[in-house]
């Protein structure tokens, strides 16, 4: 007779816990109650338990959900409209004008839902976002069931959303208050970049982040043009300027950080700054290769992000994880740089640490939330399977992600979205395409 009964049991051919690099559990099961992992069971132990729901994944890898550490979800609606441009040309002459005409509450809500559907289908369970109309992003996260960090963009110049830095900050705090207490939604302060934010505004952000216990999310050292412009305007590199303004701390998630000296890497490590590495976006915009291997060696927490679909053009964290590993190798001419197990950790537990939620998600451990994904390895593309960790990074594709759970709730089952209507998402996207082309 069973001695324990659980709400859910998930049995998988391989379980990658990410608690220790290289460890794979064979034919084990996770027991889940109230959305939390309450037991990890061997095949022998499984005979003594029962469950209301038991899912058998005989040919699958089960692992923590992927954490997208830097994105602009609503920009899925601008996917492919301004490709093959340099960053500032892309922003100033294409993206910002299009956003000025179209970005609204409805644009952000529809674009975010489209992005979340795509992200679920590639194994993402958490998004660290940065955009406008923050309440719309939060509502999308709740509607989809995605763990959502809503980055409140702050700039000095007017957009469709705000007039100046004080206006952006005021709206950010007001909208954050609307969603206080929501488990899946958390707001962050997101000053856009050193070239769009003043010293006074950065100081305000630092003070508010401490007062409100909020993370800070900012583009930093993305291109050499950014670095050189800062030297010309401020007589110092952007990171030095931010350091003098008190921005460097464990609260800061610095997106990109491509162009760093050894001294800057040491400075980042000293102050506990986390970095969101965006390999595909950095390649597509020809920004460069971030020194990930040096950052990891210095003890810096590095996670992985997709950036927005307008500069990637996919929100595919499996692909991004592979690119992160390969770029580290070619950038250092060292084939041992960022091995597969490390790459998985960057895409899961490191992202959770950067967001301050590694006690809840990012690995498979007793007491953590059941943010999980299953990847089907019974395909031609992943046969034979000598090493499931290697296959996740180097061989598997997002089309093999079969199941996704957030807090134990299935948001993708057998490749079908359960919280979102795929046909409706595509119809809304096409409607926006018509509207954008009309203008």
**Could you read off the pLDDT of 316-337 as tens digits, one per residue?**
999 999 999 999 999 999 999 9
In this predicted structure, the answer to whether residue 1 has a pLDDT above a threshold of 80 is no
In this predicted structure, the answer to whether residue 274 has a pLDDT above a threshold of 60 is yes
- 112 touches 77 (CB < 8 A): no
| pLDDT attached to residue 77 | 95
- 326 touches 334 (CB < 8 A): no
Q: What is the DSSP string of 357-384?
A: -TTTSSS--TTSB--EEEEE--SGGG-S
Q: Is 252 left (phi over 0), alpha (psi -120 to 50) or beta?
A: beta
In this predicted structure, the answer to whether residue 53 has a pLDDT above a threshold of 70 is yes
Span 393-403, pLDDT tens digits: 999 999 999 99
Query: Of 189, 70, 192, 179, nearest to 128 (Cα)?
Result: 70
Q: Measuring CA to CA, how many Å separate 34 from each of 7, 25, 369? A: 8, 23, 9
- The answer for residues whose C-beta is within 8 angstroms of residue 37's C-beta and 6 or more apart is 30, 31, 364, 365, 366, 367, 368, 369, 370
pLDDT more than 90, % of the chain: 92
CA 387 – CA 286 distance, rounded (Å): 33
User: For 155, which DSSP code?
Assistant: -
Span 159-209, pLDDT tens digits: 989 999 999 999 999 999 999 999 999 999 999 999 999 999 999 999 999
Q: What is the mean pLDDT of the chain?
A: 96
Taking residues 87-111, report their average pLDDT: 90
Span 206-259, pLDDT tens digits: 999 999 999 999 999 999 999 999 999 999 999 999 999 999 999 999 999 999
In the chain, what are the domains?
A: 4-63+370-407 (2.30.40.10), 66-314+327-339 (3.20.20.140)
| Burial classification of residue 393, based on how many CB atoms lie within 10 Å of its CB (0-12 exposed, 13-18 middle, 19 or more buried) | buried
């Amino acid at each position: 007779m069973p001695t324990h009964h659980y709400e859910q049991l998930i049995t998988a051919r391989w379980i990658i816990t990410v608690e220790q690099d290289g460890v794979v559990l064979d034919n084990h099961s996770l027991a889940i109650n109230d959305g939390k992992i309450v037991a990890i069971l061997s095949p022998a132990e499984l005979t003594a338990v029962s469950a209301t729901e038991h899912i058998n994944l005989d040919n699958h890898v089960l692992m923590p959900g992927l954490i997208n550490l830097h994105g602009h979800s609503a920009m899925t609606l601008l996917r492919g409209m301004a490709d093959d441009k340099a960053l500032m040309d892309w922003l100033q002459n294409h993206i910002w004008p299009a956003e000025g005409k179209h970005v609204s509450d409805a644009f952000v809500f529809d674009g975010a839902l489209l992005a979340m559907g795509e992200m679920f289908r590639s194994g993402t369970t958490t998004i660290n976002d940065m955009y406008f109309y923050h309440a719309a992003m939060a509502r999308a996260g709740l509607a989809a069931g995605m763990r959502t960090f809503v980055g409140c963009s702050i700039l000095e110049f007017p957009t469709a959303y705000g007039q100046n830095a004080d206006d952006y900050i005021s709206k950010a705090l007001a909208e954050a208050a609307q969603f206080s207490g929501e488990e899946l939604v958390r707001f962050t302060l997101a000053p856009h970049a050193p070239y769009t934010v003043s010293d006074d505004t950065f100081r305000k952000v630092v003070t508010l982040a401490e007062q409100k216990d909020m993370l800070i999310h900012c583009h930093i050292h993305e291109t050499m043009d950014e670095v050189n412009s800062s030297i010309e305007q401020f007589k110092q590199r952007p990171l030095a300027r931010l350091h003098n303004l008190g921005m460097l701390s464990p609260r800061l998630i610095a997106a990109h950080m491509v162009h760093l000296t050894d001294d800057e890497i040491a400075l980042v490590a000293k102050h506990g700054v986390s970095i969101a590495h965006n390999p595909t976006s950095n390649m597509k915009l020809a920004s460069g290769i971030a020194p990930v291997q040096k950052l990891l060696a210095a003890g810096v927490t590095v996670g992985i992000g997709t950036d927005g679909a307008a500069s990637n053009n996919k929100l595919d964290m499996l692909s991004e994880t592979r690119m992160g590993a390969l770029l580290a190798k070619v950038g250092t001419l060292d084939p041992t740089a960022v091995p597969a197990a490390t790459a998985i950790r960057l895409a899961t537990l490191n992202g959770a640490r950067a967001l301050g939620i590694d006690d809840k998600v990012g690995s498979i451990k007793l007491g953590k939330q059941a943010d999980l994904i299953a990847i089907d390895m019974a395909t031609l593309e992943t046969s034979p399977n000598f090493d499931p960790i290697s296959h996740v990074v180097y061989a598997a594709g997002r089309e093999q992600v079969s199941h996704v759970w957030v807090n134990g709730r299935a948001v993708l089952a057998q490749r079908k979205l359960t919280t979102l209507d795929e046909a409706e998402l595509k119809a809304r996207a096409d409607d926006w395409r018509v509207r954008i082309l009309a203008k």
